[in-house]
């Protein structure tokens, strides 16, 4: 039985440049894992103007990256 990978990265940004850099790095890590596993997409969730999570998700089809607003 295959289970969902628990790859969730929390990001708290102090400015726009660090936000973009941290999000890019987190998505790159998630993409590498998603490609290796071949079954989950990437979900980027905004929790506040400076708070995000990047996670692999069974709810997102493999090969896609979706954004979700949670505030």
Q: Is the confidence at residue 64, as pLDDT, over 60?
A: yes
The residue behind tokens 């295959």 is 2
**3-state class of 1 per DSSP?**
coil
Q: Which structure tokens are listed for 14?
A: 């102090």
Q: How confident is the model at residue 3 (pLDDT cuts 50, 70, 90)?
A: very low
Between residues 48 and 6, the one the model is more confident about: 48
Q: Is the confidence at residue 4, as pLDDT, over 80?
A: no
Q: What is the spatial distance between Cα 70 and Cα 52, in angstroms, rounded to a whole number?
A: 9
Q: What sign results for the dihedral spanned by CA atoms 52, 62, 6, 17?
A: negative
């Amino acid at each position: 039985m295959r289970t969902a990978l628990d790859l969730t990265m929390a990001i708290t940004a102090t400015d726009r440049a660090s936000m973009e850099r941290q999000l890019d790095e987190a998505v790159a890590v998630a993409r590498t894992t998603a490609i290796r596993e071949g079954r989950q997409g990437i979900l980027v969730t905004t929790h506040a103007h400076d708070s995000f999570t990047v996670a692999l998700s069974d709810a997102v089809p493999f090969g896609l990256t979706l954004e979700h607003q949670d505030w």
